Amino acid sequence: MDITTVFFLLGVGGLVVGLVAVASNPSPYFGALGLVVVAGMGCGVLTSHGGSFLAVMLFLIYLGGMLVVFAYAAALAAEAYPEGWLTGSVAIYTGLYLLVVMFATISVRQGWYDPSLASVDDMCDFLIVSGDVSGVALMYSLGGGMLVFSAWMLLLTLFVVLELTRGLGRGTVRAI
């Protein structure tokens, strides 16, 4: 097993652990930590297959955009005593989710990963520029409308989340 396969498997394992952390914890503070782990591990998986610029774009846009929305929502819905991963029902849900993931992995383990898949940088002898860079050019030229639409949807999501978490003015930010 080469080092690229090891990094890929560690990245996918961290991705699953982060997703379980997000799914099992009702507290927004620990959910944010799970989202950071998921974004970091997802970017590591993309980087291990040659998509370094795509990984940087994902990391900056996701963590810079969506976690700002999450920070506003967490500030408006502050909890005095948030539940941790090892408390009561959260630990039960975490264990249950990990058991489901382990059962699914064991049941479909044959042929789920093919190490012969080539990354973008493996074909560098035939390319003038990296495949990642040409993908960025396509994203800005042919996908410009989708980028504007995505930015509009992120702005709309910000206002929707703020409106949903505002409540009746009984949160941490209220007029005195």
pLDDT digits (tens, 9 = 90+) for 1-31: 777 778 888 888 888 888 888 888 777 777 7
**Angle formed by the axes of helices 28-48 and 52-61, nearest 10°:** 170
Per-residue pLDDT, averaged over 52-74, amounts to 75
Provide the whole-model pTM.
0.63
- Tell whether the model's pLDDT for residue 94 goes beyond 80: yes
Instruction: Give the separation between CA 65 and CA 63, rounded to whole angstroms.
Output: 6
Instruction: Give the separation between CA 66 and CA 131, rounded to whole angstroms.
Output: 27
User: CB of 46 within 8 A of CB of 7?
Assistant: no
Per-residue pLDDT, averaged over 47-74, amounts to 75
Instruction: Give the separation between CA 5 and CA 1, rounded to whole angstroms.
Output: 6
First to last CA, the chain: 63
Residue 89's CB is within 10 A of a number of other CB atoms, namely 10
User: CB of 161 within 8 A of CB of 69?
Assistant: yes
- Tell whether the model's pLDDT for residue 143 goes beyond 60: yes
- Tell whether the model's pLDDT for residue 170 goes beyond 60: no
Determine whether domain 3-117+125-166 maps to CATH 3.30.70: no
Q: Please compute Rg for the chain using Cα positions.
A: 20
| Residue 122: pLDDT band with limits 50, 70, 90 | low
> Which backbone phi and psi does 109 adopt, to 5 degrees?
-70, -20
Cα angle for residues 113, 116, 119 (degrees, 5° grid): 95
Per-residue pLDDT, averaged over 117-136, amounts to 63
